[in-house]
Amino acid sequence: MTVLLQLKRLVAAFVLVATSAGLCGPATAQPGVRLKDLVDVEGVRGNDLVGYGLVVGLEGTGDGVRNSPYTEQALASLLERLGVNVQGEDFRPANVAAVIVTATLPPFARTGSSIDVTVSAIGDARSLSGGTLIMTPLNAADGDIYAVAQGAVIASGFEAEGDAAAVTSGVPTVGVVPSGARVEREIEFDFQAMKSLRLALRAPDFTTAARMELAVNEALGGQMARLMDAGTLELDLTKSDRSPAHLISLVENVAIDPAQPAKVVVDQRSGTIVLGADVRVARVAIAQGNLSISIVERPAVSQPNPFTRGGEAIVVPRTEVNVDERRDARLALVEPNVTLSELVSGLNALGVSPREMIDILKTIKAAGALHAELIVQ
């Protein structure tokens, strides 16, 4: 009776588990790439700003006035605006450096908001560490001033020197001023008044764009998205009662499975190889060998016998030539339409290094057996 009771309990547990699995249904894989990571929205972009300014308060690491006369001129102009007359005076400060200030005005930046700036020396200053950027207007491409920068400069590098040696780490002539610029003028862009909006794919692809169209129309419940080309999707904002900002907040969180072209990227300088998941190789045989020839010169000096008149030392050349050819080199056969993992496993089976693998991939591409775009950097 005990055995029969345990058997009934096991059957009941099995039925319970099977019923629960049926209620839950099979797990489906959800695409994990949002549109906000694949596209750029029309009009939502940053604008570059640039300005010329001075960094003061350096500890003797500023510009040499003789080599950078523009630093003296800019400093004299600054002091005159502050009411200090330096005309005819001979001053050569070593704690001032002329710099170029760059920043990016983000989209929808409002007056009074702060942005980060980068400060770069343009003269012969050795370091900007510990300096302070004086009020610098930042201009856009149209010549108008959109922000003003000022603040303490933070340089990541440093310089140290002594009487006989010096050491420099990083780039001490470039620094940043976190939140160092304040926006003084806004860029006019009426996002709410737009009737249509275009989404530009960062990596144009017809398949990815078509999947975007289907996913967006399904998420918005209508035919609002229209595929224009491989890199552009147009949204008709007049077909919805939502505002453009609300529509974009919905669209940018739609997830799709983007189509990736088959690519093999090779960096010859570092020996790095990156293969896409869709790389395919036709049936091909690969043989990789290595021939190493080393030549070593070991000259010997022949000395004359002791007490020999007119004798002189003679250099006798001695050369050693060694030829080393790998005897374990094998011929590998790659089956047609192999996957990425199979290709890597086959090449690793030959015992080749990454740099030798680069030559093999080039040869496979030249033979027409590599069904992917080979990009050599």
CA angle 11, 15, 18 (to 5 degrees): 135
| Amino acid (1-letter code) at residue 190 | D
Which tokens go with 17? 């588990």
pLDDT for position 25: 41
Per-residue pLDDT at 7 exceeds 60: no
Q: What are the pLDDT digits (tens) for 128-173? A: 888 999 999 999 999 999 999 999 999 876 666 665 566 666 788 8
Confidence of residue 5 (pLDDT cuts 50, 70, 90): very low
Residue 53 contacts residue 133 (beta carbons within 8 Å): yes
What are 240-250's pLDDT values in tens digits? Answer: 888 888 888 88
CA distances from 158 to 11, 78, 150, 262 (A): 74, 28, 22, 44
What is residue 28's predicted lDDT score, i.e. its pLDDT? Answer: 42
Element (H, E) at 365: helix 354-366
Higher pLDDT, 359 or 3: 359
Query: What is the tens place of the pLDDT at every residue in 55-82?
Result: 988 888 877 766 677 777 777 777 777 7
pLDDT confidence of residue 91: 64
The reported pLDDT for the residue numbered 276 is 74
* In the predicted structure, residue 223 carries a pLDDT above the cut 80: yes
Please give the residue that has the higher pLDDT: either 291 or 98: 98
More confident residue, 365 or 163: 365
Q: How confident is the model at residue 118 (pLDDT cuts 50, 70, 90)?
A: very high
- d(Cα 303, Cα 312) in Å, to the nearest integer? 7
Give me the half-sphere count of Cα atoms (radius 13 Å) on the Cβ side of residue 81. 7
Q: Which residues contact 167 (CB under 8 A, 6 or more apart)?
A: 159, 160, 161
pLDDT at 262: 80
Q: Which residues are CB-contacts of 144 (< 8 A; sequence separation ≥ 6)?
A: 185
**Given this model, what pLDDT does residue 325 score?**
52
| Cβ-proximal residues to 138 (8 Å cutoff; 6+ apart), any chain | 49, 50, 51, 101, 103, 117, 145, 146, 147, 148, 149, 181
Per-residue confidence (pLDDT) for residue 88, from 0 to 100? 61
**Average pLDDT value for residue range 93-110:** 89
pLDDT tens for 14-43 read: 334 333 444 344 434 455 788 888 898 888
pLDDT, tens only, 312-324: 777 777 766 555 5
Q: Confidence class of residue 83 from pLDDT cuts 50, 70 and 90?
A: confident
Give the Cα separation of 50 and 141 in Å (integer). Answer: 9
339 versus 104: the higher-pLDDT residue is 104
> What is the torsional sign of CA 133, 139, 144, 148?
negative
Structure tokens at 220: 């918005």
Cα–Cα distance for residue pair 133/97, rounded to 1 Å: 9
In terms of Cα–Cα distance, which of 153, 58, 66 is closest to 101?
153
